[in-house]
Amino acid sequence: MTRSPTSPLVVLGSGYTGLVLHGIGASQGRTVHATSRNPSNNLGGIPSEHRLRFDLEQSSTWQNIPTSADLIWCFPATPLEQVQAFARTLDAPARRIVVLGSTSAYEVSDHSTEYPPPWIDESAPIDLTKSRVQGEEYLRKEHGAIVLRVAGIYGSGRNPLDWITSSRVTASRKYVNLIHVEDLAAICLLAGRR
């Protein structure tokens, strides 16, 4: 079932990707709310009527999430107990939930001497011992969330060339996947309609 592109949307965790999501969603005519633990300090560029206080570890803030809105979850889904408790307050069948996961979810040995390194894609096994992965999988299995495992988000203010010249990234035999933040935001918005 395809959801209406005009359903209200809440971006849970409005950091780098979340702010771009807000901008693109709003430019498409959607009502988009951005969340932060401290919205007055962290969401200055968002109209005040679209800023929501939300902290997964403070259940008193959960009521700030509009009941009819779809969700894009942009922070680690942990601790599991809080993820479960918050998710139980949602009318999940009536909502679409998109979770931005991490490629760190995949079972990979960082100490492999194999070259080329093993190819990792969505068919690779995930490491269910990681708390973040447990939260993502709970949301996927129990609440129908779509989990997008992303790495290497770049865009304005995050240039891979700068990462290399500043030695943030050094020579490595590993493969690197990159995605532009605007492309990721567009994918999230499309995933939320499925």
Mean pLDDT (the chain) is 90
Q: What is the pLDDT of residues 109-168, one digit of tens each?
A: 666 677 777 778 888 899 999 999 999 999 999 999 999 999 889 999 998 888 888 988
Q: Which residues pair with 72 in a beta bridge?
A: 11, 98
Q: What is the pLDDT of residue 53?
A: 98
Average pLDDT over residues 45-56: 96
Quote the pTM value.
0.89
Q: What is the pLDDT of residue 108?
A: 72
Q: What is the pLDDT of residues 5-20, one digit of tens each?
A: 668 999 999 999 999 9
Does residue 176 surpass a pLDDT of 90?
A: no
Q: What is the pLDDT of residue 185?
A: 97
Cβ contact 193:2 at 8 Å: yes
Residue 120, phi then psi, degrees to nearest 5: -115, 125
Q: What is the pLDDT of residues 79-103, one digit of tens each?
A: 999 999 999 998 766 689 999 998 8
E-state strands within 37-145: 51-53, 70-73, 97-102
Average pLDDT over residues 21-29: 95
Q: What is the pLDDT of residue 39?
A: 95
55, containing H or E segment: none
Long-range contacts, 118-125 (Cβ 8 Å, 24+): 119/175, 120/175, 122/149
Q: What is the pLDDT of residue 92?
A: 62
Question: Distance of CA 38 to CAs 9, 14, 59, Å?
Answer: 19, 11, 15
Per CATH, domain 9-191 is 3.60.15.10: no
Q: What is the pLDDT of residue 3?
A: 57
Q: What is the pLDDT of residue 4?
A: 59
